[in-house]
Structure 1
Amino acid sequence: MVKRFPIIETGRLILREVTSTDSTNMLTYLSDEMVMKHMGLVPFQTEDDVLDEISWYQSIFEEGTGIRWGITLKESSEVIGSCGFLNRLSKHHRADVGYELSKEYWGRGIASEALEAVVMYGFQHFQLERIQALIEPNNLPSQKLVEKIGFEREGLLRHYEFTCGKFDDLIMYSILKENLDLI
């Protein structure tokens, strides 16, 4: 059975499946050092790098371990970022959430609008009880973003990931289904 990729619509955005035709637009932000700084990845160099990322998006969707929506403005089909779940564990009703947005669109409330819609979707359609976000300690804008939506800081995970040749500390944030009234 082929699963249909869900589309989420908000006031200004359409969150949709990304395809290989989006690779050029995605390379614009995935090659930007400022965007990639806190993602644990080196900036992408080629469209092939982006196509590998798109393949990963497709594989986590097909496996049921995650989903990543491309963020587009309603007036344009251009993908300007992405937001979605990874490490989804249906048995435990939890998933990690992640996101990135082209620097050109920072400060406009777009990431907040997309994240809020994805969180709501996760609670309503995936029967999640807990959604968590792992954020580098010096990524203050991302911490403010999740706090604005109602996530609570739980603690520091020391040397939690090994990325780009170094161990990274990450702060664990979470929101529970019972906190939906905060959104």
Structure 2
Amino acid sequence: MPGDIHARLAALPAFPTLTGARVRLREPRTDDIDGLFALFADPRVMRYWSSAPMRSRMQAEGKVEEMREAFERRESLDWVVADRRDDLAIGSCTLFRFDARHRRAEIGYALRSALWGRGLASDAVAMALDWGFRTLGLHRIEADIDPRNEASRALLLRLGFSSEGVLRERFFVGDQATDSELFGLLAQEWHGRRR
């Protein structure tokens, strides 16, 4: 059902917390700085990112502040992915670039490399997708990845996304031009898989 996405975002009384069997998506906190620094300073995590790895803890402090301010402006939802057992930050999952007219947004995600291969990123992304489609009334969610990132590609395909093409040399990471592969998922495809 169509609705004003910006009005729905503005009406949120607080940062939404989503809880699954193994992970929680919650608001960023000051005590997440070290966990987020470990995440975004890891060259393995950042290998296919559109920016270089963090080099100082101050960058992680700034990241937490940016995440909070983006929510205050309702420009993005930058969830911290936390382990349900100890609530420590192990990743991030973001809905951003909201387009109210076309009921569209983008999703991004990252997970500590020591935890890869356990399905935790899939769990986190699935919760964010479900929330975006059901709560915000999004019609389409897009993801944009480096096509060499086979693990991310497999995650998106597993969740029902379709590859919609490669944009050649779209980003520079340092001095290297990299391609970008666009994926899309429609609300009816998501709901059809969840029945």
TM-score, shorter chain, exceeding 0.5: yes
Match of 1:29 among 22, 25, 39: 39
Identity of aligned residues (%): 28
Alpha-carbon spacing, 1:163–1:86, altered in 2? closer, same or farther (3 Å): farther
CA drift of 1:98 comes to 0.2
Asked whether the 8 Å contact 2:103–2:137 carries over to 1, the reply is yes
SS of the residue 1:86 aligns to:
strand
Distance in 1 between residues matched to 2:173 and 2:76, nearest whole Å: 20
Asked whether the 8 Å contact 1:96–1:131 carries over to 2, the reply is yes
SS of the residue 1:92 aligns to:
coil
> What root-mean-square deviation, in Å, do the aligned CA atoms of Structure 1 and Structure 2 show?
1.5
Distance in 1 between residues matched to 2:167 and 2:193, nearest whole Å: 25
Q: Deviations over 1:57-114 (max 9, x none)?
A: 1222122221111111111111000102121112221111000000111011000000
Asked whether the 8 Å contact 1:151–1:175 carries over to 2, the reply is yes
Distance in 2 between residues matched to 1:139 and 1:112, nearest whole Å: 15
Q: Give 1:14-53 correspondences, 5 Å limit.
A: 14-53=24-63
Match of 2:65 in 1: 55
Asked whether the 8 Å contact 1:3–1:62 carries over to 2, the reply is no
TM-score, normalising length: structure 2: 0.89
Distance in 2 between residues matched to 1:15 and 1:107, nearest whole Å: 19
Match of 1:104 among 83, 92, 114: 114
CA drift of 1:3 comes to 4.2
Question: What 5-or-longer segments of structure 2 have no aligned partner?
Answer: 1-9
SS of the residue 2:49 aligns to:
coil
1:165 partner amino acid: D
Match of 2:89 in 1: 79
Distance in 1 between residues matched to 2:155 and 2:73, nearest whole Å: 29
Match of 2:80 in 1: 70
1:173 partner amino acid: F
Asked whether the 8 Å contact 1:65–1:89 carries over to 2, the reply is no
Match of 1:143 in 2: 153
Greater relative contact order: 1 or 2 (C-alpha under 8 angstroms, separation 6 or more)? 2
1:157 partner amino acid: L
Distance in 2 between residues matched to 1:13 and 1:20, nearest whole Å: 19
Q: Deviations over 1:126-152 (max 9, x none)?
A: 111100000101101100000000000
2:193 partner amino acid: L
Count of aligned residue pairs for this structure pair: 183
Match of 1:168 in 2: 178
Match of 1:94 among 81, 101, 104: 104
1:179 partner amino acid: E
